[in-house]
C-alpha cells in the first residue's frame, strides 16, 4: 500500500494519509476523497479516494523533490 506518513501528531503514532472508503479502513489515519455520504446500505463512506489520493501523492512528491516543506493541518471544526 502506498501512503503518506504524518509526523508529530499529538498522542498518536503511525498516522497516514491513504486510500480508503469506509470508517473501518482507518483508526486515526486521514482518508481523502471527493465527497462523503451514505451508500445504498446506509453506511457512511468516502467516495473517489483512489483518484484523490493519487493526485495528492503526486503534488506532495513533487514538492518534496523540489526541496519544499509539506505541511498538513487537521482542524477540529467542533
Backbone angles phi, psi at 31, to 5 degrees: -110, 130
pLDDT tier at 78, thresholds 50, 70, 90: low
Strand order in the sheet with 4-6: 4-6, 15-18, 30-31
Tens-digit pLDDT profile for residues 9-64: 888 889 898 888 887 777 778 888 888 888 888 888 888 889 999 999 999 999 99
pLDDT at 21: 83
Q: Which three cell numbers stand for residue 72?
A: 498538513
Pairing mode, if any, of strands 15-18 and 30-31?
Answer: parallel
pLDDT at 48: 86
Q: Of 47 and 75, which is predicted with more confidence?
A: 47
pLDDT at 65: 96
Q: Cα(76)–Cα(57) distance, rounded to whole angstroms?
A: 23
Q: Cα(51)–Cα(49) distance, rounded to whole angstroms?
A: 6
pLDDT tier at 66, thresholds 50, 70, 90: very high
Q: Which DSSP symbol is given to 22?
A: B
Amino acid at each position: 500500500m502506498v501512503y503518506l506518513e504524518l509526523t508529530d501528531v499529538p498522542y498518536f503514532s503511525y498516522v497516514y494519509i491513504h486510500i480508503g472508503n469506509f470508517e473501518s479502513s482507518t483508526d486515526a489515519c486521514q482518508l481523502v476523497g471527493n465527497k462523503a455520504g451514505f451508500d445504498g446500505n446506509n453506511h457512511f463512506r468516502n467516495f473517489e479516494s483512489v483518484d484523490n489520493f493519487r493526485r495528492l501523492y503526486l503534488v506532495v512528491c513533487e514538492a518534496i523533490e523540489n526541496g519544499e516543506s509539506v505541511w498538513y493541518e487537521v482542524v477540529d471544526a467542533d
